[in-house]
Amino acid sequence: MEVATRLTWMQEKKLQNYFGEKQFSLLYKASVHGFSTDRLLQICSNQGPTLTVIYSEDQIVGAYMQKDYGEGNYLIAVFVFQETTITECKVGPFKLPMLFDKNVDGNLEVSIHLKEKTMYFNKNAMEKLGLSQIYISFQDCEVFRCEDLLDERKMSGLTELKESLLCAIRNYIPYGGLVHKVRILLLGPVGAGKSSFFNSVRSIFRGHVTNQALVGSDPTGTSEKVNLKCLLLINFITHSIHFNLQTYFIKDGKDNNTLPFILCDTMGLSEKEGLDMDDIPYILEGTTISVLYHIHPCMNCIGNHTVCPLLKDRIHCVAFVFSANSVGQLSHEMVEKIKRIRRELIKSDVVHVVLLTHVDTLDLITKGDLIDVYKCVPVKLQAVHRKLGFPLSDIFVVSNYTSEWELEPVIDVLILSALKEMLRAADDFLENFPLEKTGRCV
């Protein structure tokens, strides 16, 4: 028989979060290993903190123990898990194995009799837990070891991984050396997190959290309004403004070299206003305006652009940015708009990927889940796939730096992995680019 828990993913997640971002390893399952206290103690002693879960016909009841079975007297947290709520009461202190021992004198608040498949409560505990009876007969009992989701071992593994990603990105050379830097265009609805993604990437290469691009919570969009201000304030932007587009070089914190990619932030898309659809072909071609000035979104200014756009000035990869929170509720108009932009990209053969931001704000998702985040958000990935038609493997999940003061390896790894895939996508674009065209205009 398979040793697998009866908890659903959702139930396990709720318990994990409730007991402080834990990961559970199933050690003992009564229906497989036998309803025997001896067997249970053989397997579960000296395993550190454990969680015992009891399954009755219609209830899940359990006990969380912060210490080993072998150690002294301790308080035990007994809980009842009903649909979405967890009711807890502390019992004890007593020696942990006593929980399973029916020969103990005195009136234990809670005891589990494996052989009889019954769990007993005294009146007090019963009331505190909101139960209607003093005993529950159960079908199965499972014991898990509890480990921290983000323990030291994983943190150092993540740091190692981050370093290797950083190294790969720093040493990236665009396909065939056709250009020195690849340009990645960030496109997406207002407030999706485009500017925040730029800031996050910059922070990682700076080695601390920075906020160059202004981010905001203005429902009509932030980036458009601050375009000019940004440009004047920050000499960092050495390049020009592309219509409603901001280009940033990102400098590498360590040796002040610029990195082999440029992120281009745009004003958000919205149903009515916002980035103009007609500008997109020009933005992709890298049409530049020699004078820096602020353009109103409705103004369609296409004069004065360089005649023969160079390969190095054009966009090599597009990342559509969506918030995982709202991607399910995109309006019909927005979906149509994105599909139209996509057709435009297909026409110019521009490779594109999707960035899903704001995953940290999803229900039940904690920092520890970011390690294996793709397993935790299948519904969101499916939503993007179904609504917008992007293949699943082109969707990358990130969590931007917004309120953090310090860098976190687990967040860095997500962002850098996405960035690395974008560089590869740019390579695919360059490889696909007809060479006849590059001959003249590189």
Sites of contact with ligand GTP (CB under 6 A): 188, 190-196, 215-217, 221-223, 267-268, 357-358, 360-361, 391, 399-400, 402
Residue 151 is a binding residue for other proteins (CB under 8 A): yes
Count the residues of the shown chain that bind Mg ion, applying the rule CB under 5 A. Answer: 3
Whole-Å CA distances, 178 to 239, 437, 438: 20, 12, 8
Count the residues of the shown chain that bind other proteins, applying the rule CB under 8 A. Answer: 51
Q: Taking the complex as a whole, how short is the minimal distance between the CB of residue 415 and other proteins, in angstroms?
A: 15
Task: Tell me if the bond preceding 49 is cis, omega within 30° of 0.
Answer: no
- Secondary structure letter of residue 315 according to DSSP: -
**Neighbouring-strand partners of residue 356:** 322, 397
Strands 245-251 and 182-187: unpaired
Residue 247 is a binding residue for Mg ion (CB under 5 A): no
Q: Taking the complex as a whole, how short is the minimal distance between the CB of residue 384 and other proteins, in angstroms?
A: 11
Residues 6 or more apart whose CB falls under 8 angstroms from that of 207 comprise 253, 254, 407
Nearer to ligand GTP, 188 or 409 (CB): 188
Beta strands in 57-206 (DSSP E): 60-65, 73-82, 85-95, 110-113, 118-121, 135-148, 182-187
Quick check: 240 and 290 in contact, CB under 8 A?
Answer: yes
Residues 6 or more apart whose CB falls under 8 angstroms from that of 170 comprise 252, 259, 260
Q: Judged by CB under 8 A, which of 123, 153, 229, 296 binds other proteins?
A: 153
Q: Where does this chain touch Mg ion (CB under 5 A) — which range of 25-33, 78-86, 128-136, 221-229?
A: 221-229
Nearer to Mg ion, 111 or 195 (CB): 195
- Rounded Cα distance between 36 and 107, Å, is 22
Residue 160 is a binding residue for other proteins (CB under 8 A): yes
Residue 156 is a binding residue for other proteins (CB under 8 A): yes
Q: Taking the complex as a whole, how short is the minimal distance between the CB of residue 338 and other proteins, in angstroms?
A: 11
Q: Where does this chain touch other proteins (CB under 8 A) — which range of 82-90, 143-151, 245-253, 272-280?
A: 143-151
Using CB distances below 5 to 8 A depending on partner kind, what does residue 138 bind out of other proteins, Mg ion, ligand GTP, none? none
Residue 72 is a binding residue for other proteins (CB under 8 A): no
Residue 380's identity, in one-letter code, is K
Residue 323 is a binding residue for Mg ion (CB under 5 A): no
Residues 6 or more apart whose CB falls under 8 angstroms from that of 385 comprise 391, 392, 395
Residue 346 is a binding residue for other proteins (CB under 8 A): yes
Residues 6 or more apart whose CB falls under 8 angstroms from that of 182 comprise 174, 260, 261, 262, 316, 317, 423, 426, 427, 430
Q: Judged by CB under 8 A, which of 390, 411, 412, 419 binds other proteins?
A: 390
Residue 223 is a binding residue for Mg ion (CB under 5 A): yes
| Nearest in space to 391 (alpha carbons), one of 360, 422, 352, 434 | 352
Nearer to other proteins, 333 or 431 (CB): 431
For binding to Mg ion (CB under 5 A), which residues are involved?
A: 195, 222-223
* Interface ranges with other proteins (CB under 8 A): 2-4, 25-27, 32-33, 42-43, 46-49, 68, 145, 147, 151, 153-154, 156-158, 160-161, 176, 339, 342, 345-347, 349, 351-353, 374, 385, 389-394, 421, 424-425, 428-429, 431-432, 434
